[in-house]
Amino acid sequence: MLAEPATPAGARTAEHWRRRDLAVLWHPCTQMREHPDTLPLLPIARGEGAWLIGQDGRRYLDAISSWWTNLFGHAEPRIAEAIATQARTLEHVLLAGCSHEPAVALAEQLLALAPRQAGRAPLAKVFYADNGSAGVEVALKMAFHWFHNRGEARRTKFVALEGGYHGETLGALAVGDIPLYRRVYAPLLAEALFAPSPDAYLAQPGQSAASRAEEAADALARLLDHHSGEICALILEPRVQCAGGMRMHDPVYLKRARELCDVHGVFLIADEIAVGFGRTGTMFACEQSAVMPDLLCLSKGLTGGALPLAAVLTTQELYDGFLHDSRERAFLHSHSYTGNPLACAAALATLGIFASDDVIARNRATAARMAELAAPLAGHRHVAEVRQAGMIVAFELTPAGDRRATFDPAARIGLRAHRAALERGVLLRPLGDVLYWMPPYCVDNATLEWLADTTWRAIDAAVEGAACA
Ligand SMILES: Cc1ncc(COP(=O)(O)O)c(C=O)c1O
């Protein structure tokens, strides 16, 4: 498969949209000064399966599922139809004091699908929010407020993991540990305690991922001991710390974290906003540890990538802690679009596809092919590690032959690889110097083969470009 060049007319149309865009838009997660010269802006006309079709007429493989939102491909007809039908029936109604079928049906289905754990009552209630960060805010506020309602006012702190990410609003940022996003806002953030990451890449030579995870869990145990009675919740990303560089850890960590939360009477918040809905090989990553959290945050893939929506699933015990004659003890958090019917309809269509298409089994076969195709890249002299969890494969780029070294940030290796991939028709958008594949589940084997080849070439081009600069 070869990336086709833009036609002259296509190139002119793309340029037209670039100019109009940069005259009026301020893009997320972007130093706008880098547009358009350092960072090419990609005007997209439409989506089709795993592909984005640019205004320049070229096809670009969406190898990162548009920030990990897309599951079954762009413009998926069943999801599109569900949204259109819902739009003609009820586009929105406030969810305070009103109810509607999509919100109820979706909550029922999510609770039926949610991870379970022997000896624990299943998750029993669903609270909706509008996006991942808002869902994290809901979970943090619920955990704190529950203890407050019980008169445990000293429990004001959250524990989070080094290298973790939970979103950009101030509460979510407070429990994130990515300096680039967090540092400047530090004076505004609530204090959080950070436990060492179980990240297997940080293992000592010869140390297994499980041993690394156990070591990190021991450190978590010491932190919880030290701050006993001050903590309301531990929040973490099970299995993969995605924004932190697709850092993966052994499932034993979550098992230990669950036990430790129980010992210390602390809520466990599982942020499956990125890893939920089949990304890591099971419907939810918590299943790989046979763990049920007290609060489960879902978003991104929840609507198949079509509309913003988040759901926070909680226990009956947590819900009951808010029932009282006083309104102040109620969870008064709200967003105007809470439980939007269009988004709920998209989510119901998404769950329908899981039910009808045997998605998890198909993903297993796709993930196995991704593993075969990624393996040779481990031999590239600038790839220190290839790691995989289901439909996520990551490549750690380092200077040749030195696993512990990192490229000079000024060399912008990741950005150079991004540009090189884009020229070849692949949207990769690395995390620093970590390249990764997280394609829509509908990606086919021929496309994956081409992606592997393009990734190799993009790394070569990035390193050569930096050497010539
Ligand atoms: C694990 C995790 N939590 C929360 C968020 C925030 O979600 P949103 O971007 O929808 O606010 C993200 C986004 O990447 C995420 O990866």
Name the residue with the closest Cα to ligand 1, atom 7: 132
Q: What is the pLDDT of residue 5?
A: 80
Q: How far apart are CA 369 and CA 251, in angstroms?
A: 23
Q: At what angle do helices 101-113 and 341-357 cross, to 10 degrees?
A: 40
Name the residue with the closest Cα to ligand 1, atom 8: 132
Instruction: Give 9: exposed, middle or buried? Use CB within 10 Å, 0-12, 13-18, 19+.
Output: exposed
With a 6 Å cutoff on the Cβ, whether 65 touches ligand 1 is: no
Cis peptide before 36 (omega within 30 of 0): yes
With a 6 Å cutoff on the Cβ, whether 392 touches ligand 1 is: no
Centre of ligand 1 from the C-alpha of residue 297, in Å? 10
Q: At what angle do helices 359-374 and 341-357 cross, to 10 degrees?
A: 80
With a 6 Å cutoff on the Cβ, whether 274 touches ligand 1 is: yes
Query: For residue 300, which atom of ligand 1 is closest to its CA?
Result: 10
Residue with tokens 């990304």, as numbered in its chain = 279
Q: What is the pLDDT of residue 40?
A: 86
Residues 55/13, Cβ–Cβ less than 8 Å:
yes
Q: What is the pLDDT of residue 2?
A: 54
With a 6 Å cutoff on the Cβ, whether 309 touches ligand 1 is: no
Q: What is the pLDDT of residue 247?
A: 98
Name the residue with the closest Cα to ligand 1, atom 2: 166
Give every residue of the chain whose pLDDT is below 50, as ranges: none
Name the residue with the closest Cα to ligand 1, atom 13: 167
Q: How far apart are CA 462 and CA 451, in angstroms?
A: 16
Contacts of 218 (CB under 8 A, 6+ apart): none
Please count the CA atoms within 13 angstroms of the CA of 20 that sit on its side-chain side: 8
Q: What is the pLDDT of residue 212?
A: 98
Q: What is the pLDDT of residue 3?
A: 67
With a 6 Å cutoff on the Cβ, whether 428 touches ligand 1 is: no
